[in-house]
Homo-oligomer: A and B are copies of this chain.
Amino acid sequence: MERADPRPLYVQLADQLERAIRDGALGPGERLPSARSLAAALSTTPVTVHQAFQRLRSRGLAASRVGSGTYVAGSRPAAAASAGLAAHVSLDRREPPAALFPADVIRQIMDRILDDEGGEAFAYGDPGGDRDLKEVLSGDLVEAGFGLSGRDLVVFSGAQQALSLLFRAHLQRGDWVVVERPTYPGVLRLLQQAGARVEAVDVGPDGPDPERLAQVLDMRPVRLVYSLPVYHNPTGLCWSVECKRRVAELCAARGVVLVEDDALSGVDFGHGRPRALAACAPACRNVVYVRSFSMILMPGFRLGYCLAPRELANTLKRAKEEADLLTSGFFQRVLCRFISEGHMRRHLTLIEPYYRDLFAQATAAAAAILAPAGFTLTPGVGGPSLWGRLPEGVPGGLFGRHCIREGVGVVPGESYSLDQSTADGVGLAFSRLHPEAWEEGLRRVARAADAARREARAGQAGR
């Protein structure tokens, strides 16, 4: 390209690419280089390249495929896709694929909000959350059987922010916290950061054993219990209703805050729609219910909320205001209309069959590939991931290293607890994957375990 050429760089680049396409140097279905690599090659910025691609698209010469790049218009990029598969398979991402996000409806709603509000759409708003959104969310909660009296909603930039501010507001260094074993690694990092002392209770097919939890609560001055009662992360288990009630009672009797982290309640994986713990124990006043929309809507929205006893909710509002003033009111009003106009309900009927089929395929494939390789799989009932124990004689650390060599990304078992008690496990997530990619990933996991066992044996023999 000519820097002396008076036309913008992106126009020059688009014209060059157009020539290459028209000359046949770039064939139909061929993948264009990534914006980053092309920018590096041309000593320009990815933005310039993106603009050039956009120009090609607007002329019908190229098309973008969600998550996979930009292609010359005219045919399937089949070869390119399988080439991508061969390089690396990620079994460590739990969110749904972007193709499922309701981008068109969201776009229409954004347009209407801008019609109605103009620039006001981007003004400051209510620090604790948009009032209309909170009203709509409350309505849904009441319908789902939640008790709302004496409680309040606070809107956050995702459930992660709700949890991080909750732990900061409610915990002091040295406080005891109970979690399930295994549990969501992100929360363990937050608890470490907060200086909490953590006690874990194993999660069984019906949830944690309430008697074991009662013992821990008798033994330690526990300040908070963190739980994932519906489609537990990573096992995919659901607590029984009896377990939810009993744990709520135990925490209520001792005045312990019980946090329910919920991303998937109300989604039917084939056994009916499980109810949130907070809806099974509506009178229990110390439950803090944290809701994420990342799994049922889209993660990049960065919206979540928390239903908490009023006093704690007020503390959280202050903490939220201090942390970042407020979450953008624009997306909050988008979510408000999305729910109040019935789109959320419709959207759930779309993603439910997707999730259900994917879960059935994923667990069947895991049973077919990992069980014969010696893995012990926890029989979950839904969700975007599963949990297994490594075969006998496979050390977690070695297994992780062989996964890297095999080109498969997994979350190592040791991330799911603060001691080494889950180091012989592995979490595997499938929600974004085509079944073939999932199966290929599982085969690599099986090979990595086999290689790790052989290396461990050789090491022992060599001693």
Contact = CB atoms under 8 A, between A and B. Distances in A.
A114 B119 contact: no
A100 interface: yes
Interface stretch (A20-28, A228-236, A296-304): A296-304
A331 B106 CA distance: 14
Contacts of A110: 107, 110
A57 to B, nearest CB: 7
Most chain B Cβ neighbours within 10 Å, of A131, A299, A301, A336:
A299
Interface residues of A, number: 67
B189 A131 contact: no
B99 A119 contact: yes
Interface in A243-274: none
Interface in A81-131: 95, 98-103, 106-107, 110-112, 114-125, 131
Given A66-B119, A299-B122, A326-B302, A135 B45 contact: yes
A309 interface: no
A123 B300 contact: yes
Interface string A61-75: 000101100000000
Nearest to A339: B47
A39 to B, nearest CB: 9
A107 B114 contact: yes
A49 to B, nearest CB: 10
A310 interface: no
A193 interface: yes
Contacts of A385: none
Most chain B Cβ neighbours within 10 Å, of A120, A124, A139:
A120
B340 A328 contact: no
A70 to B, nearest CB: 9
A389 interface: no
A46 interface: yes
B107 A336 contact: no
Contact of A118 (B45, B66, B119): B66
A96 to B, nearest CB: 9
Interface stretch (A208-216, A317-325, A437-445): A317-325
A331 B337 CA distance: 19
Interface in A147-175: 156-158, 160-161, 164
A330 interface: yes
B117 A64 contact: yes
Given A54-B116, A103-B114, A107-B111, 6 more contacts: A36-B131, A47-B336, A66-B118, A98-B119, A124-B299, A193-B322
